[in-house]
Amino acid sequence: MINRHAIKHQAISSDAYAFSKTTVHLRLRAAKGDLSAVYCLSDAPKIEAAKQTGQWHWIKKQSALVKEHSTALFDYWFLSIEPEDYKMRYGFKLIGANETLMYIERGFFPEDDPTIADDINSYFAFPYIHPCDIVKVPEFVKTTNWYQIFPDRFYNGNRENDPINTVAWNFTPPTNEHPYGGDLAGITAKLDYLVELGINGIYLTPIFKAPSIHKYDTISYYEIDPSFGSKAELKTLIEQAHSRGIKIMLDAVFNHIGSDAKEFLDVVENGENSKYYDWFHINKLPLTTSDGDLIPENYRNFCKTMPKLNTANPEVVAYLLAIAVYWVKTFDIDAWRLDVANEVDHVFWRKFRIAVREVKPDIYILGETWHQSNAWLQGDQFDGTMNYPLTKPILEWIALGNINGITFQQSFVEAILCYSENINMGMFNLLDSHDTPRLLTLTKGNLEKTKLCYTVLYALKGSTCIFYGSELALSGGADPLCRGAMPWERLNKPKPLFDHLQKLLQLRKAYPMIASEGGYHFEVVQEDLVIFTRYHESMGVYYLLYTGKEEQEISLPTSLAGKDVLDIYYNSQQKLKQTLVIKPYGIYMFLGSFQIK
């Protein structure tokens, strides 16, 4: 019997979406090994015909799905189909070992059940392919490799704007109270360094006026924080970056504002009489004690010094949208990263998208979320989110060893199939950031594990990002320890991670199939060995990931055994045998012929 509980398909979702103006992608989940074949029954070129009795009859065509992925629990079947007249009703014929079923929107039926043969309204429906509803991410994002910079800790390019309490560049451990003097001029001075590495996008954490080091407590959205420089210096940075083919992304903090912002201070002073009272979510007054200390339980907040903004208030909406448009129009930024994006209402983000896209049609809109984010990724809000759900299995298997390769593959597949292919091309893939421990700390300084993690990162569809200093082996635990000063003194020493990342970035540019063009296919999935392919048409790059403790001779899959391949990492032609001796956490990237079986 077919395991009905495992069967899953949802119309108008990541299981059924318009990939292009003429093409729909369908996906169906089933229990692992339960089905030998799956067929889609959909509208034939002529959907109606008259029986001899003169009754209406629905004529269907049959299209075979391919098994796209197979995990420890499930098989995932896939079909790319061009509907007749841009719309279709459809169902699935499931072929099991001793049973054949029809699976339609109403549920499961025998294959020859006459009650559903012509009942088109009981089937799944894709009502119509509207070009305006197709998710499209800015083209440049698909090939952008971002570099995240925490400005105060990157490079001091103008000592005249240093805060009075600036510490020495080698001051440790890093805190959120001691400024180091990094600024916009310093970033401009190091643009050629980033070009050498292979970076073509810079993501800056907040640069607007704020009392903290991190600047997530904004007090003026229209001013550059004096410790970072001036608007003229920002304009220079952007112009110089653009001249080198580098995009610039700024960080927008619209969920909350700093408690020292004039708007919140006005409410503190005037209470319900403040014209800004409804800009916030006030539970009760007063907002401070008689000593002037904030009472955070009296107002909604991200933390005590970050009162939450009321984005349902039209005045707040107009204020924030004007800010977003100003920096795009005046400084020609290329992207907005939206802080705590999932705590702001969807209505606001839809207005935000319309506003900034009117100024710059290809601006990239990135939301900070830490979970499944389909609700924000329907083409009307964000182009992508910070892809932490895909980060997790990479770190848990390779860096930390908390899971095995089988669980890694299952979590990886679930993460990529959570979204449509269109959305995956706009996702922001990263392994660490200012909010997490650094990768080198997670691997306990193991360079080989660290390199292998980056190898997988740069095999992902969508854009990628590394945290400043990672290429120079900067380590650090959770915030604030992850925000150390850029170790520029290491430039004159061997730089194994710099060399590795530079190589991966070169390969990602040379072989588009490992960036935006390719699909994923898993060849081998074992506890300490995973072989997967990034493929496009008849060619693929095969990645061999091995986390065992000792060197091992493995049997190669038929797709590689006895084949001529190009080792693209070491740039050498190889004639593979039936087996291959591999080292723990080694780098194996073979370009060869590919065919889905």
Q: Are 528 and 405 in contact (CB under 8 A)?
A: yes
Residue 150: both structure tokens together: 């925490």
- CATH, residue 276: 3.90.400.10
Minimal CA–CA distance to 460: which of 514, 408, 499?
A: 514
| Residue type for position 209 | K
Per-residue pLDDT, 49: 52
What domain range is 207 assigned to?
144-257+328-513
126 shares its domain with 151: no
Per-residue DSSP letter, 416: H
Q: Are 280 and 264 in contact (CB under 8 A)?
A: yes
Longest dimension (CA), the chain: 92
- Model pLDDT for residues 213-231, shown as the tens digit of each residue: 999 999 999 999 999 999 9
342 shares its domain with 475: yes
Residues with a catalytic annotation lie at 339, 368
Residue 462 domain flag: yes
- CATH, residue 557: 2.60.40.1180
102 shares its domain with 153: no
Can you tell me the distance from the alpha carbon of 543 to that of 587, in angstroms, rounded to the nearest whole number?
Answer: 8
Residue 430 domain flag: yes
338 shares its domain with 447: yes
Per-residue pLDDT, 48: 52
Per-residue DSSP letter, 570: T
Q: Quote the number of domains for the chain.
A: 4
349 shares its domain with 464: yes
Residue 270 domain flag: yes
Is this model's pTM higher than 0.85 or not? yes
Per-residue pLDDT, 54: 63
Per-residue pLDDT, 550: 96
From 133, 168, 192, the end of a domain falls on: 133
471 shares its domain with 543: no
Mean pLDDT by 10 residues, the chain (597 residues): 97 96 98 98 72 73 96 98 95 97 97 93 97 95 97 98 96 95 98 98 98 97 98 98 98 98 98 98 97 96 97 98 98 98 98 98 97 96 97 97 98 97 97 98 98 98 97 98 98 97 97 90 97 95 97 96 97 97 98 87
353 shares its domain with 473: yes
